[in-house]
Amino acid sequence: MSRVIDTDVLVVGGGGAGFRAAIGARMKDVRVMLLSKGPLARCGATPMAGADFTLDGNSMSKIPGLKGDPNDSPEKVLNDIVTQG
Ligand SMILES: Cc1cc2nc3c(=O)[nH]c(=O)nc-3n(C[C@H](O)[C@H](O)[C@H](O)COP(=O)(O)OP(=O)(O)OC[C@H]3O[C@@H](n4cnc5c(N)ncnc54)[C@H](O)[C@@H]3O)c2cc1C
């Protein structure tokens, strides 16, 4: 049996990325549906994430107490992640 559901935005995946996309879309005042293969917040990589966070050296250098590298940039970090991925 099939069922037709009408929505403005369909988000596929119930991990952190999907949740954030759904929240962002909802804040634009559109109807959002989130579709996930596994139970929300109980599947995928998101529940396993530790406490690490990635930040570019330039942004880090602006945080008091952290050294960072003013020559780094968010674009360089993204390029590193994509290249390594
Ligand atoms: C052990 C571990 C530790 C980590 N530690 C950190 C950390 O300290 N700091 C950090 O920043 N990152 C960490 N990460 C990485 C981080 O957890 C992931 O990059 C992030 O959670 C990915 O989020 P996501 O929403 O893209 O994917 P996921 O959380 O994997 O979500 C994918 C979603 O898609 C759904 N799905 C899959 N296929 C389908 C389909 N066909 N149809 C519908 N839904 C589907 C799944 O059910 C799931 O809900 C860690 C990862 C692991 C495994």
Q: What is the pLDDT of residue 34?
A: 96
* Nearest of 50, 68, 52 to residue 60 by alpha carbon: 68
| Sign of the four-CA dihedral 44, 55, 22, 9 | negative
State the residue range of the domain holding 44: 1-50
Which atom number of ligand 1 is nearest to the Cα of residue 52? 8
Q: Which of 23, 33, 48, 55 to mutate to test the pocket of ligand 1 (most atoms within 8 A of CB)?
A: 48
Which pLDDT tens digit goes with each residue over 29-69? Answer: 999 999 999 998 789 999 999 888 888 999 999 999 999 99
Q: What is the pLDDT of residue 53?
A: 81
Distance 54 CA to ligand 1 centre (A): 15
Please check whether residues 1 and 23 belong to one and the same domain.
yes
* Number of domain units in the chain: 2
Please check whether residues 68 and 42 belong to one and the same domain.
no
Q: What is the pLDDT of residue 41?
A: 79
Q: What angle do CA 73, 75, 77 make, to 5 degrees?
A: 75
Please check whether residues 5 and 26 belong to one and the same domain.
yes
Q: Which of 10, 20, 35, 37 to mutate to test the pocket of ligand 1 (most atoms within 8 A of CB)?
A: 37
Please check whether residues 5 and 20 belong to one and the same domain.
yes
Q: What is the pLDDT of residue 54?
A: 83
Please check whether residues 43 and 57 belong to one and the same domain.
no
